[in-house]
Structure 1
Amino acid sequence: MSARVLLLGGTGDALRIARALGPEHVYSLAGLGRVPADLSCAVRVGGFGGAPGLARYLADEGIGCVLDATHPYAAQISANAARACEQAKLPYWALRRAPWQPQPGDDWRWVDDWAGVVEAIKPYARVLFTLGREPLAHLGEVPLHQHWTVRCLDAHPGHARAQVIDARGPFTAEGERMLFKTGRYDVIVSKNSGGAATGAKLGVAREMGLPVVMVKRPSLPPAQREFASVQEVLDALADLNQRKIDA
């Protein structure tokens, strides 16, 4: 197997991995957010054209392994990667970040999708969304009795009943407490992304007795190797490079 790795990224975990990659490897971003300037590896921005386009890219570029470190909710990208690797007969590896688990005192309301979110937040007046960009497409639908705050990576215009905060984690418990108190939120909306960078909001919601509308994770394809931490990925990549040297 070629030791050239295609890293599918866009998360903080993926960036940590990318910073450890040499120039023969490729870090792929969908095009959202800022492109890091401090990487030794090649950086590719943009889509591939679905699974068939990705399979062609893997063959053309001599990729030996695909490492999926995309967001746990980027289900379509992961599905395309798994299918492309199957077509190209290449290993598909994935970093599967553990989901958050409810703790004593938590009030989580589980929903499947955006329609479930809308139904779950109906009784509330001041809503904090921490779902990323999805609510931006619905700012024209804010009910008259509600005010929304949407926290996401990029700046976006709001209006009288919607505020958009552009912010990037990690977020601290102290910062979340200040945000929650200033915004006077009575419900938080979140994806079950897992990880430490954005998990402080859940502890603060618990402290303040706030309900959390939690969107369930989508199903993701199985991988030949699944890793629970960035360190496990780095160890596997080091082993892959060592086998290349020994070959």
Structure 2
Amino acid sequence: MQNEKILSLRDLRMNFGTHNVLQGIDLDVYRGQIIGYIGPNGAGKSTTLKIMLGLLDDYEGNVEIFGENIANGDVSYKRWIGYVPENAELYDTLTAAEYLTFVGELYGMSRKEAEEKALALLTQFEMEDVFHQRISSFSKGMRQKVILVSSMLHNPDLIFLDEPLSGLDANSVMVIKDIMEQLKEQGKTIFYSSHMMDIVERISNRIVLLVNGKIAADGTFEELKEQNKEGSLEGIFNQLTGFDAHKETAEKFVQIVTGNESNG
């Protein structure tokens, strides 16, 4: 199972005007892997995800998902993909039941199946009492749970998660971490993009670091730690991105806030 290639990128390049966002990404992802896809803002993480999801098509290189080149115009591969975007838009005037049933039907589920499964999943988040309430009344955390359920309702084989824990409380974060681990054991492949280094460190069995549109590191946390002689993923990240001024920046920020700036 581990040798089954789910996703392959070859010399992936993307430009926005004169800005080279992706500069030749080569990456193979296999069934049952949780890929922690990290990098500073502007490194090209979200652009990579949007290309693989078919949301951007003006790219160079080759993208294969489930063995098929996504540039061939056949979008049937999307039926087996789940996606949690960083900034998701929901239909606020719909109830959770209406929205999730609608999403399920888009993926080919029957209305009855989608509604029953959506209720069962939201019940695990203790949201059964608001199943028929409008999403406009939901808190940020509740909305995020609806988005997470919508991404997995159709039992996808490949799941793209872009900052999926946004707005969730500590208990829910633990549940989502365990869900991802168990999905991996079921042979699901998860592409996880986040700035939360401690979470990425704990859940990923492979970490890919993108810097300036290029892969700067690719391996398990233990492999990256050995190569870079750092004890945490945050330390590895700072070393490989060349960012070592965080303490100085924080000190200056606090000095400005408190009015304790030195005149010298």
Q: Output the TM-score relative to the length of structure 2.
A: 0.26
Bigger helix share: 2
Q: Comparing both chains, which one has the higher relative contact order based on Cα–Cα distances under 8 Å and sequence gaps of 6 or more?
A: 2
